[in-house]
């Protein structure tokens, strides 16, 4: 884990410094005024725009359009997004707007499913509020097996995007777990990956059926299993 630099470090770019200022001086959930932002970055041109650019990195900064309790000169720092000051997070490539063709490709590759909750396009959420999902493309920070960090595009629904889930993917955790799998388990996992959905194998089907049995039948099955 890298130490967080100070927002006063002038070697950093303005957007990175604004991100650090929000964390170190404002604090998540707090309100700040345009005046305070301009005073902190005295003489820096287009400071409002630099702040808005943070939204491309999943930072949530509300105005009175999103939050009617705010005055027109106020903002609320709702949620921290990607750590833009870390190397590789806010490089030029990541900062480029996501093009229409990139969107289509990511949606297609993700099978038109939210990769955080699994909901499809225009499907109703199961909470009964009757709202349906909209899928959008988000930037996700992924830690590679080498430890390097990379920003990758992923499909997420409107609810997961706004819901404040701080998803950081670390491939090292997955690699470590993968090494503990047996050849059989690896084969099963590859099949799920190919279908992009989980199928149930014979063991799981048996487990499901076993659980529905009355107690005497469960006991009988159990003894059949232990003394074949
Ligand atoms: Zn979702």
What is the tens place of the pLDDT at every residue in 5-35? 999 998 888 999 999 999 999 999 999 999 9
User: How many A from CA of 122 to the centre of ligand 1?
Assistant: 11
For residue 123, the CA-to-ligand 1 centroid distance in Å is 11
Contact 116, 167 (CB under 8 A): yes
For 14, other C-beta atoms within 10 Å of its C-beta total 17
How far, in Å, is the centroid of ligand 1 from the Cα of 150? 22
CB of 5 within 8 A of CB of 20? yes
What rounded mean pLDDT belongs to the chain? 85
Q: Under a CB-based contact definition with an 8 Å cutoff, are residues 133 and 104 in contact?
A: no
Least confident of 18-32, 85-99, 116-130: 85-99
Domain spans in the chain, listed from the N-terminal domain onward: 14-79, 97-171, 181-226
Alpha-carbon dihedral 10, 14, 20, 24, rounded to 10 degrees: 70
**105 Cα–ligand 1 center, Å:** 18
Question: pLDDT tens digits for 124-148?
Answer: 887 766 778 888 888 887 888 888 8
Sheet order of strands, 149-157 included: 149-157, 135-143, 168-170
């Amino acid at each position: 884990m890298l130490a967080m630099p100070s927002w006063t470090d002038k070697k950093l770019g303005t957007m990175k410094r604004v991100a650090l200022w929000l964390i170190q001086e404002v604090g998540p959930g707090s309100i700040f005024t345009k005046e305070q932002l301009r005073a902190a970055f005295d003489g820096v041109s287009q400071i409002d725009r630099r702040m808005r650019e943070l939204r491309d990195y999943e930072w949530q900064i509300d105005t009175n359009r999103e939050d009617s309790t705010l005055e027109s000169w106020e903002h609320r720092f709702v949620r921290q997004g990607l750590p833009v000051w870390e190397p590789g997070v806010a490089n030029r490539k990541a900062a480029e707007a996501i093009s229409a063709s990139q969107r289509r490709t990511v949606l297609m590759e993700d099978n038109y499913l939210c990769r955080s909750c699994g909901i499809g396009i225009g499907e109703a959420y199961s909470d009964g509020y009757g709202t349906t999902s909209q899928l959008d493309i988000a930037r996700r920070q992924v830690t590679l097996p080498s430890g390097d960090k990379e920003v990758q595009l992923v499909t997420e629904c409107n609810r997961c995007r706004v819901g404040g889930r701080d998803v950081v993917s670390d491939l090292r955790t997955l690699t470590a777990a993968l090494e503990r799998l047996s050849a059989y388990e690896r084969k099963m996992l590859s099949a799920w990956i190919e279908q992009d959905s989980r199928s149930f194998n014979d063991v799981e089907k048996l487990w499901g059926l076993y659980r529905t049995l009355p107690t005497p039948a469960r006991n009988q099955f159990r003894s059949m299993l232990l003394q074949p």
